[in-house]
Structure 1
Amino acid sequence: MQRLPHQHAVQESGFTLVELLVALALMALMAGMAWRVLAGMQTAMEVNRRHADAVLTLEAGLGQWGADLDALVALPQTRTLEWDGRALRLTRRLPGDEGTVVVCWTRAERDGVSQWLRWQSAPVATREAWLTAWTAANAWAQGADTSTRTREIRITALPQWQLFYYRTGAWSNPLSSAGTGPGVEANTSLPEGIRLVLTLPTTHPLPGTLVRDWARNHTAGASP
């Protein structure tokens, strides 16, 4: 009988149960760490997005503030601009000859937070319509009429704001009669400039005091 050559047993290598459990534990740990990193990145992206939105919204509000003042218009037997210490009402032209509206800026509480707000009327074509809109703006600013809040836009949280008028070479309180001239009531004459001082909350990306100056050009407040 032919003798078969000696066959060596092949030793197969593999993971033991302990090694497998250790590997699974390490993979779970790495997955948990990766999840925390991803969650942290997601949170950072969300915070950055909210900050960017807040800054862009504030810039849009300041741009609208300047646009309103640039479009001031004086109509017969109406007021162009009036500050009562709480709200600024103004009469302005709409772009593209779309008419005239009354705009009001104020600071008021909404949902428990003091907000910088802007209100705009429907276009007015007569003095009676203007007077109705002017009165409605005042009622809205004083909180006496909540039905017109659908016309307001919330700009940003705002703990405090101030206005100053530039007249006769100096900044002064808009409610003072300085610079109005003889025979002219305080707060009815158009100033040469308006200084807006906003105090933004600590939660805003740009906390602290923000100052924006507006200068009237030679056509501001002129009748079309």
Structure 2
Amino acid sequence: MIEPQSMRKQRGFTLLELLLAISILSVLTLLAWRTLDTLSKTDTWTQERTEHWQGWRVALAQWQTDLDAMEDLAPEPAPVFDGLVIQWVRRAAPLPDDHAPGWQVVAWGLQPDAQGTRRLARWASPVLRERLALLQAWQAARLWARNPTEALRAQQTLLPAVDDWQLFYYRGGAWSHPQSSSGGPGNAETGDRAAPSGIRLLLTLPGADQPQTRQLRVDWVHPSYNGPRTEGSVP
């Protein structure tokens, strides 16, 4: 028997058609959610990496600025590296409405954060204008590297995390360890107060790759250096 056309128009979806439509909608919803989740994770990862490298740009810019402002006013040849911390005296940035010259003792080393993660850290004294205060701050920088008090920690800035760091001085036409007895000019053991012509900072960043692929190298050249700028050799 042929069904009248008016009855066919009034008939709804069958149960099978409804189940098929729901299944299709479920698959589309799942695909859409996975796409959004992937986009969200990608955006979060990109933002974290951007903030990470922005942190390094700020940290290394401060490193370069501190070195460019270095002055030989310390009680020892500047800069001084004792195996834990490198420190020197720098010209302080001028304060508003204050044209009197001032200096700061700055120190760089590794310090743990609250979670125990080792971080590159910078310590800086207040602006100083007296010789005695400068000598006291010099000793405070050494204490900060070994047994920092809460007061000394308040003067530090924790920078991005690192696994390890190394320093090299450019002296006598070659790169050598800062404490090497054959480093040439600028060696504290020889009593020569001249600063090295360059300083190489080699940082090993945290990660699962080989250490060689996680190294960040920053070379600083003394503003007064006019010699050849070659790669040299790193011991």
Q: What is the 5 A alignment of 1:152-163? A: 152-163=156-167
Q: What's the Cα RMSD here?
A: 2.8
Name the amino acid aligned to 2:119.
Answer: Q
The higher radius of gyration belongs to 1
**What TM-score results when the alignment is normalised by the length of structure 2?**
0.79
Name the amino acid aligned to 2:107.
Answer: C
The residue that corresponds to 2:230 in the other structure is none
The answer to which of 135-144 and 91-100 deviates more is 91-100
The residue that corresponds to 1:102 in the other structure is 105
Q: 1:52 to 1:209 in 2, by over 3 A?
A: same
Q: 1:160 to 1:38 in 2, by over 3 A?
A: same
- Is 2:220 aligned against 1:214? yes
**What TM-score results when the alignment is normalised by the length of structure 1?**
0.82
Q: 1:19 to 1:88 in 2, by over 3 A?
A: same
Name the amino acid aligned to 1:151.
Answer: Q
Runs of 5+ in structure 2 lacking a partner? 226-235
CA contact (8 A) 1:109 1:115 kept: yes
- Is 2:118 aligned against 1:125? no
Q: 1:151 to 1:108 in 2, by over 3 A?
A: same
How far does residue 22 in structure 1 lie from its aligned partner after superposition?
A: 2.6
Q: What is the 5 A alignment of 1:28-177? A: 28-75=26-73, 80-96=78-94, 99-110=102-113, 111-177=115-181
Name the amino acid aligned to 1:109.
Answer: P
Q: What is the number of equivalent residue pairs in this alignment?
A: 211
Quick one: percent identity of the two aligned structures?
A: 34
CA contact (8 A) 2:108 2:120 kept: yes
Q: Which has the higher contact order (CA 8 A, sep 6+)?
A: 1
How far does residue 77 in structure 1 lie from its aligned partner after superposition?
A: 5.5
- Is 2:15 aligned against 1:10? no
